[in-house]
Chains A and B, each alone.
Chain A
Amino acid sequence: MYVAVKGGERAIDAAHAWLAEERRGDPAIPELAVAQIREQMTLAVNRVMAEGSLYDPDLAALAIKQARGDLIEAIFLIRAYRTTLPRLGASEPVETGGMRCDRRISATFKDVPGGQVLGPTFDYTHRLLDFALAAEGEVPEAATAAPDAAPKPRITGLLDRDGLIETEPASDETPPDLTREPLGFPAGRALRLQALTRSDEGFALGMAYSTQRGYGRNHPFVGELRLGRVGVEVEIPELGFAVEIAEIELTECETVNQFAGSKTEPPQFTRGYGLVFGQSERKAISMALVDRALRWEDLGEDFTGAPAQDAEFVISHGDNIQASGFLEHIKLPHYVDFQSELELVRRIRAEAAASAAEREAAE
């Protein structure tokens, strides 16, 4: 007698127990501590914080451990936790211009006020497996320098002063929040940026790459990429002024993009913007490219039909928690639907066979 998907209760309990055992792996190998993940798998932690939309390295590390290293599963754990948190208030906008940069590079100018700082990057490493890491041992301490206190004004600000780049009008409007309001279209830029910073890194990368290959090309230069820490300030109503409550690490990318100009407007560079929790350069750059592609309408450009220009397409499909949930739900039983299709196909086939037989008899 068929019982495959019945008696689910015992199967679920057994599956969970097995899963817990698999997660632990060989008990002869020491268990990973959450702090080890937080300190040594930092970029994974950063990705989970960015796409989970919750800045908490300890929780992100815990989620990675619980998810057996499946980052989308870890992001899911963080998102599900995040929705249960009360919202106590909103911070002031973070001032990335005052970022204490660990890394700050510009691809548009050889040197810039505040200087270029290479920082901790894979960029110029040779991708050779370092077998020394397989043997446990301490790394030699990196050389240190005095803290770099030089102010690092934004590159786009310098271009803006000369009128060479579009001016982004300042606004004190409260930005929309897609985690609190149902997403609607057309979506303004603030909402699109929120969706992009939460979006799947792979999706954002693919979309951005498609613009580079000609599907909505927008000629980006990395005007500036900066990584570092900024203070988070919250205005306390009782005090009447803002107080710094935390410091977070951010990656910010501003692209400088070509703009043809028109009969009425002289040519001017345009902007793409990316801002992501933690060190997430690939994501920040991708975000900036996609942001710029989605701005075609604001900038009076043509819609060429490129996927990256289509806000409804990009925003509706970039969230990996929505996507993986819906994709994987087809693992659930569908035998009622399938049965109804089965009946339909059988009936249509039977009718087709009957009419074919009739035709043959008539010939």
Chain B
Amino acid sequence: MRKLLVYLKDYRKETILAPLFKMLEATFELFVPLVMAAVIDQGIGNGNVSYVLRMGGVLVLLGVIGLVCSITAQYFSAKAAVGVSTKLKHALFAHIQGLSYTEIDTLGTATMITRMTSDVNQVQSGVNMVLRLFLRSPFIVFGAMVMAFTIDVKAALIFVVTIPALSVVVFGIMMWTMPLFKKVQAGLDSVLGATRENLTGARVIRAFNKEQEEIEAFEQKNSALAHMQLFVGKISALTNPVTYIIINVATVVLLYTGAVRVDEGTITQGEVVALVNYMSQILIELVKLANLIITITKALACANRIQSVFEIRSGMEWKQKVTETAAGQHSKRQADETSPDEQRPEGDEVVFDHVCLTYAGAGAESLTDLNFRVKKGQTVGIIGGTGSGKTSLVNMIPRFYDATKGHVRIKGRDVREYGMEELREMIGIVPQKAVLFQGTVRENMQWGKNNATDAEIWQAIETAQAKEFVEQKDGRLDAAIAQTGRNLSGGQRQRLTIARALVGRPEILILDDSASALDYATDAALRQAIRNMEGDMTVFIVSQRASSIQHADQIIVLDDGEMAGIGIHEELLERCEVYQEIYYSQYPKKEVRS
């Protein structure tokens, strides 16, 4: 929370002026009962009509000043609140973008989206309310008491007793019910969960004839919720009557004391009226304050959640981008220092050197001791069962995750020695989940390379086997793509994500199961086109289909995070048991023979 206050600093002027003007407004409000007392004692007492009119003018004037002060305060507080939330959102967006995959995995994107939207909004209204009301209400409460003292000390003592009593009741009930409201919320969540579950699982529930049981379970949850609500309701139902009693009993006592004091001649009749008025002002403000505290508690909770996002530091340090020559020297030095014995045959593009990976919070390694070399221009197939670590492996090449042991080297340099952009611009990756962004086809393609020309884009699209359908689209490269690309079919989306990676002419291309929605023929044509591309592109293909990788220069077979085999198709089919199993599960022996 404290760190978030930094953002208020830029609005120091506003954060001071807003409450100040609010207090001014409150001060003028506190004068009103005194003016009234004067009207009663001087005006009515002496039968002085012109005095009454003058005092009426004073009342209007107080109102005008109050209005001006209050509007000024509203402006400053709105400015500070909006300013803070704007800066906060910017900082949060930038911060989240700087997090590495590990932190994204732990946080979850859904959480981050809520932090950026509803949480920041809550903070905004919290700041706004605090600046406007947090000082005003206590000020009026205590101001009323002080004013009472100026009228009569003995009568004012009633205030001294009443205010704490009221506070105890109002805040006590609030403290009591707040945790209970949390329980109510939990109950509501469970009712919501049950409803959602019965919609998503309608088929299964009906297939197993579970409707009646589900209804009973729901009714139970629902009635538990109602019970909880009623219980909390009973407690909060006390607030109004109890405060009513306190404030009015205090008024009764005040009237009696007033009667005694007037009889003694210490105070006047008008002053009694003023005292009664102060008493009722207190009640109104205390209720406002209680509501305010609820808003503040919510805003604080949101602020803390936002703060916790800021506290997550990226677990990855990136080198500043180094110049070509410096990089060369650096890497040479690096090679000299860390592994002087290592022999590095020319043309080694990607090297995994005893690489292990353990995900944050995981109990066991997801990749264990991976060791292989890939030459420039080679095509590498990676195959293995679900959860065998295929995606983890390729994610280490662009350094989405850091090796927990061992080294990943590209062109002889540890990936940790590269600047982020330098490394990632070298690599084109097609993730498993085919996502496009709102905009035109061209804009999406330019993700791979800023300012890519239409010719370059068309070439990439053609290689990705997407030319045919892009040409049929209205506007072709200007055709609109909806959020996540949902106006395209799965196969079209996949081909465009492949094209996007190709536009930048990467030196290393990673296809992470990116052809799963393509039929076998298109898949084959795609691989053919990629092979025919100019330049010595090194290609990694992750797939579950044996046919997609069987012609690769090297096939890495993964099994439970370990390399079960490496080699070309024929070799593996000969001696790698896991590969045989996978292959024959897709091509039963008799078919292959025939």
Q: Tell whether A and B belong to one assembly.
A: no
User: A: which residues have CB within 8 A of B?
Assistant: none
User: B: which residues have CB within 8 A of A?
Assistant: none
